[in-house]
Structure 1
């Protein structure tokens, strides 16, 4: 009997799969920006227009708004984890790694996205829960390194950091967003300065974890 051979995948099929992947990524990226600008009720037609695809293409990838928002949620979390891992691996100074992550997390627009997404995604979704665990681990690793180096105050946890980043990067209600990024970076730097050790004050209450924050929502 001749040896079994692998079935070759036609080049056209490979190309079609690659095109489908690119379209899916464009749709998620466009939805992310549209949600920030227009809120969770943004028309899906607008998402398709921004992604440069037809409505039929959008609905082939995402059957409804809930599934699209779920994928945006997972994408934002995965990108945040990657930001944390890269900062930890590439920055030799512990506090520099923390600072880099904080500013890059702000660039992900999590301050605007988190309030929108938290109202509509399922916190019991196994994929979402897995991403939350990965975020906890990756951000904890950055903070623990800075604390071990004596550069970061020891009375805070991941939840404290992410609450501050989320609040400081969220536009104020009723204000124009033009030029808001300039204030975000300024206020984040003030916040980071307050995290340095030795601490100049005693914080009330206990340090917060991501799990505790989710339980309180």
Structure 2
């Protein structure tokens, strides 16, 4: 793909993420066009309908999430810091909030399943390393991590959004939440929630992901 075409695609996907988060998955595609600063023809040549745009956006988010997990593993020698780096990168991508919004409009295909599989493997590798280093509670599964990110990173409603205008509050809350995932001798242990359970509950399994 030519550099200018890739830039247009990136603008459209970033704009779609913002618009769908603000207005839901049924938001007018004209709003995406305006936010992206492209013409309607540019959008429809790449994404002929809403379904194609939603699928491309989720596939893109999952691919970027997987790369964030792999980069965290490469950059951070400490497994706990690698996990922390990944969680904060996921928040910056707004992955958790966006994918939850889009699930109801998502059609699972082979490409999406393949990307999801790679992302799951990369994140599970982070969790496994943190557990083996004795830094992560043994009852934390990928499903727990994903839902935690979803809960913390969703935009604040109404006027409360002004409290996190610069995006720093979500990162503070993520650090507070991560402190609860750290391995300690205190508190009861529960049952780890698997990512396959989250996908099944969302009604978009595509395939069963093994833990």
TM-score relative to the length of structure 2: 0.87
Structure 1 residues 151-160 or 40-49, which shifts more? 40-49
Q: 1:132 aligns with which of 116, 119, 129?
A: 116
User: Which residue does 2:98 correspond to in 1?
Assistant: 113
Find out whether 1:216 has 2:201 as its counterpart. yes
Shift of 1:182: 3.5
Q: 1:99 aligns with which of 84, 90, 97?
A: 84
Q: 1:38 aligns with which of 23, 26, 48?
A: 23
Structure exhibiting the larger radius of gyration computed from Cα positions: 1
Shift of 1:38: 2.4
Q: 1:144 aligns with which of 128, 135, 151?
A: 128
TM-score relative to the length of structure 1: 0.85
The whole-number CA distance in structure 2 between the counterparts of 1:54 and 1:120 is 24
Structure 1 residues without counterparts, runs of 5 or longer? 1-13
The whole-number CA distance in structure 1 between the counterparts of 2:80 and 2:194 is 20
Matches within 5 A, 1:1-217: 17-123=2-108, 125-174=109-158, 176-180=160-164, 181-204=167-190, 206-217=191-202
The whole-number CA distance in structure 2 between the counterparts of 1:53 and 1:38 is 19
C-alpha RMSD of the superposition: 1.8
CA 199–43 in structure 1, closer or farther in 2 if over 3 Å, else same: farther
4+ residue segments displaced more than 6 Å: none
Structure 2 residues without counterparts, runs of 5 or longer? 203-211
After superposition, what is the alpha-carbon deviation per residue over 1:128-163, rounded to whole angstroms, capped at 9, x for unaligned?
212221121001111111111111111111111111
Number of corresponding residues = 200
Shift of 1:199: 4.3
